[in-house]
Chains A and B, each alone.
Chain A
Amino acid sequence: MTDNTPVHRQPPAWLTGLREALPLLGGYVPVAVSFGLVATQAGFSTTEVAAISTLIYAGASQFLFVGMAAAGAPLWLTVAMTLLINIRHLVYAPNLAPWLTRSRWWPWLMHGLTDQIFALAHTRLPQIAPERRLGWFSGAAGLAWLSWIAGSVLGAVAGEWLTRRWPLLGEVMPFALPALFLVLLAPHFTSLRWSLALGISMAAALVLALGGFANVSIPLAAAAGALGFYAIGNRPGGDGEAAS
């Protein structure tokens, strides 16, 4: 998937990013529609739903925000819980930093660094020529952001009708996310040590989410995978390959 095509034959970088982010829409739009529906049922107007999705732009924490606000929880607690859920984002940007160019736009583009964009960029940025990375990221993150806002507004305006009319679509389309994550993850199964660590992370996240701990499952599962990685490496005869 490396960009080896001569520069003059390549489409604009933003267009490549936009095209490669298209699979994300299958996961984003149904969830955004659900958010719009839930938020209007909690008493928020369409404009307010659009503002929350535009400004906060973080799936799970937006659901928590409107849920706690509607239940009358103290606003400081609502904000604190919203930020606590997003704490996993702390490790995303440093992982991408070696591939980001010196442009002053990068810090502002971090608003679009969601879980899914991180997963996509973590795989693609190292394969893209440095001069195309800013455009690629803008296209991918921009499409994801706009689809999230549009989906939220659609949910606020017509969410109930949509879920009644096409219930199957809401059930099938979100499968785009695990399929995309799998494609992004597959190249990392390079050794027994990596395979076991990744397997531990996956299994731990699945079990924790099924157990009702979806919000903390991602950082906890990643930590469990890291422990496994180092435990396997420290065993006599363990695969001593370093993190790559």
Chain B
Amino acid sequence: MSASMWLAVVIAALGTLALRLLPLLWMRRRLHRSTNDGEGSNTLPPWLRLLGPLMIAALFGVSLIPQRQDSVGWCATLVGIGATLIVWRRTRTLGWPVIVGVATFGLVVVAVRIAG
């Protein structure tokens, strides 16, 4: 890698860090000015409070696209999502729904391949 390429890597890295870091400094200053204790989401502007869950929803939408975009991939995704949701409703935990979801997804993929 040439010196200019290394420089590009460093600038991209610093820029990415700035995109993650500077808004925190801005919000901390804002929180410090607007409240004494600074605890809780009520100190956030309403539009920002709204964007948090909506960004996660968008991440979920993008991540739904399976590696193999055929009927097997989509079917496994649908069944895997159903299994994840059922386990989440029963356990309300973080780990088990994910483990069962991945296992179900894998089982559907393998079962269809064996059947096919």
Chain A residues 156 to 197 lying within 8 A of chain B, measured CB to CB, are: 168, 170-186, 188, 194, 197
B26-67: CB near A (< 8 Å → 1, else 0) gives 111001000000111101101111111111111111111111
Q: Tell me how many residues of B have a C-beta within 8 Å of chain A.
A: 73
By a CB distance below 8 angstroms, the chain A residues around B47 are 226, 243
Q: Decide yes or no whether B20 CB sits under 8 A from chain A.
A: yes
Closest to A48 in B: B1
Closest to A20 in B: B94
- The answer on a CB contact under 8 Å between A243 and B49 is yes
B76-98: CB near A (< 8 Å → 1, else 0) gives 11001100110010001111011
**How near does chain A come to B9, taking the closest CB pair, in angstroms?**
6
Give the secondary structure class of B's interface: helix
By a CB distance below 8 angstroms, the chain A residues around B11 are 79
Provide the bound-state CA to CA distance between A170 and B39, in Å.
Answer: 41
Give the secondary structure class of A's interface: helix
Provide the bound-state CA to CA distance between A181 and B97, in Å.
Answer: 11
B89-111: CB near A (< 8 Å → 1, else 0) gives 00011110111011001100110
Tier of interface size on chain A: 35 or more
A38-57: CB near B (< 8 Å → 1, else 0) gives 00000011001001100111
By a CB distance below 8 angstroms, the chain A residues around B21 are 93, 107, 110-111
- The answer on a CB contact under 8 Å between A185 and B60 is yes
By a CB distance below 8 angstroms, the chain A residues around B8 are 65, 69, 75, 78-79
- The answer on a CB contact under 8 Å between B94 and A183 is yes
- The answer on a CB contact under 8 Å between A198 and B68 is no
Identify which of B12, B58, B76, B93 contacts A202 (C-beta below 8 A): B58
- The answer on a CB contact under 8 Å between A98 and B55 is no
Identify which of B10, B15, B61 contacts A203 (C-beta below 8 A): B61
Report, nearest first, the 4 A-B pairs whose CB atoms are least far apart.
Answer: A205-B61, A179-B101, A93-B24, A55-B13
What are 6 residue pairs bridging A and B, where the CB atoms are less than 8 Å apart in the complex? A19-B95, A94-B27, A97-B31, A178-B60, A206-B64, A214-B62
